[in-house]
Amino acid sequence: MLSKLDPNQKLKLVGYLKDFSTSLTRVEAERDLQKVLKGDACEEFDISKKVFTKLAKTYHKQNFADEVADHQEFEKLYEEVTK
């Protein structure tokens, strides 16, 4: 397929590759920032990384009521199954 590309198509494809690479760089930087923020918050407030992650995702999605309902369903089912 690539051997059939004309020079303009090749340039356009390289442009896509560069843009995609730039996007990946931004994603990596955001992940690094998230790791630092999580570490700092967990250390300062003495909470586990798992709990902080759950808090952050729930805050971001603004779905606290759904999380509570899911947990209640889990509790009920777990107790029913393990009794």
Count of the separate structural domains present in the chain = 2
Identify whether 37 is part of a domain.
yes
In this prediction the pTM is: 0.78
Domain that holds residue 69: 47-83
59 and 34, same domain (yes or no): no
41 and 67, same domain (yes or no): no
Among 68, 49, 48, smallest CA distance to 58 is for: 68
57 and 68, same domain (yes or no): yes
61 and 41, same domain (yes or no): no
20 and 52, same domain (yes or no): no
- The phi, psi pair for 24, rounded to 5°, reads -60, -35
User: Side-chain half-sphere of 50: how many Cα atoms within 13 Å?
Assistant: 0
- The phi, psi pair for 46, rounded to 5°, reads 50, 55
- The phi, psi pair for 26, rounded to 5°, reads -65, -40
In Å, how far from its chain's centre is CA 48? 18
60 and 81, same domain (yes or no): yes
* Tens-place pLDDT, residues 45-79: 999 999 999 999 999 999 999 999 999 999 999 99
